[in-house]
């Protein structure tokens, strides 16, 4: 059995290297695999659960953040801001770096719209912290070890032999905790995704 060319029968060290290569290649290959669908068409991959629905209360969570503390959805909502919660497969991969840099580029625009940006992946706290430091990100990342929260939001991608990753999806959560919008087809246009989020956020606020 193979996934993107990687054999499933391999030693521990080979599997580790293959897993790193897989994450690094996801951003470059998923667009072609996805087309306009919501989730990547990767052989043997399986998404966990249905995507959280617009108009309902966003699923609650509490995760370790890249600044060394704990962050819950409730603590984010205390600031009475819109929360841009974006799930990404792995820090330092091409797509995730481009996506995060674009959010950082527009961070002042989000602040002007009373919004905060928060990233989530299955990466360790240490890796997320290093990613934020090297890319000079003003927002923090949450470490969803095991993909529990990703599964809760319907944003988990499980691949036999490689584990569970956060699929690239973005959620706009209102200060009330209501889930206002879900972006599922992000992979095919990562570089302009932040522009799309800003446009939708402005639209949501005008309708409020």
The pair of structure tokens assigned to 118 is 């928060």
* CATH label of the domain that carries residue 163: 3.40.30.10
Q: What is the pLDDT of residues 60-90, one digit of tens each?
A: 999 999 999 999 999 999 999 999 999 999 9
User: What is the pLDDT, as a whole number, of residue 161?
Assistant: 86
Give me the sheet containing 169-173, strands edge to edge. 70-72, 62-65, 141-143, 115-121, 82-87, 169-173, 179-183
The separation between CA 19 and the C-alpha centre of its own chain, rounded to angstroms, equals: 18
Rounded Cα distance, 185 and 35, in Å: 9
Q: Assess contact for 191 and 98: CB atoms under 8 A.
A: yes
| In the predicted structure, residue 202 carries a pLDDT above the cut 50 | yes
Cβ contact 139:116 at 8 Å: yes
Q: Is the pLDDT of residue 53 over 70?
A: yes
pTM: 0.77
Provide the pLDDT for residue 42.
34
Q: Could you list the residue range(s) of the whole structural domain that residue 83 is in? A: 2-207
d(CA 95, CA 100): 9
pLDDT digits (tens, 9 = 90+) for 152-191: 999 999 888 888 999 999 999 999 999 999 999 898 889 9
- The alpha-helical segments, DSSP class H, found in the chain are 12-34, 73-77, 94-105, 107-112, 125-134, 148-152, 193-207
pLDDT band of residue 205 (cuts 50, 70, 90) is very high
- Say how many domains are in the chain: 1
Nearest CA to 193 out of 173, 162, 175, 170 is that of 170
């Amino acid at each position: 059995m193979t996934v993107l060319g990687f054999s499933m029968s391999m030693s521990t060290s080979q599997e580790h290297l293959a897993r790193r290569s897989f994450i690094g290649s996801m951003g470059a290959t998923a667009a072609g695999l996805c087309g306009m669908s919501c989730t990547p068409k990767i052989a043997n991959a399986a998404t966990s659960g249905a995507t959280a629905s617009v108009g309902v209360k966003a699923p609650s969570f509490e995760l370790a953040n890249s600044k060394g503390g704990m962050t819950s959805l409730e603590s984010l909502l205390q600031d009475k801001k819109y929360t841009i919660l974006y799930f990404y497969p792995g820090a330092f991969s091409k797509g995730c770096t481009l996506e995060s840099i674009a959010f950082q580029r527009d961070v002042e625009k989000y602040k002007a719209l009373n919004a905060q940006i928060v990233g989530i992946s299955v990466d360790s706290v240490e890796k997320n912290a290093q990613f934020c430091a090297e890319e000079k990100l003003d927002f923090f990342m949450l470490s969803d070890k095991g993909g529990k929260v990703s599964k809760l939001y319907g944003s988990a991608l499980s691949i036999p032999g490689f584990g569970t990753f956060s699929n690239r999806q973005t959620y706009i959560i209102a200060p009330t905790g209501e889930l206002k919008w879900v972006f599922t087809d992000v992979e095919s246009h990562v570089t302009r995704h932040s522009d799309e989020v800003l446009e939708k956020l402005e639209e949501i606020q005008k309708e409020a």
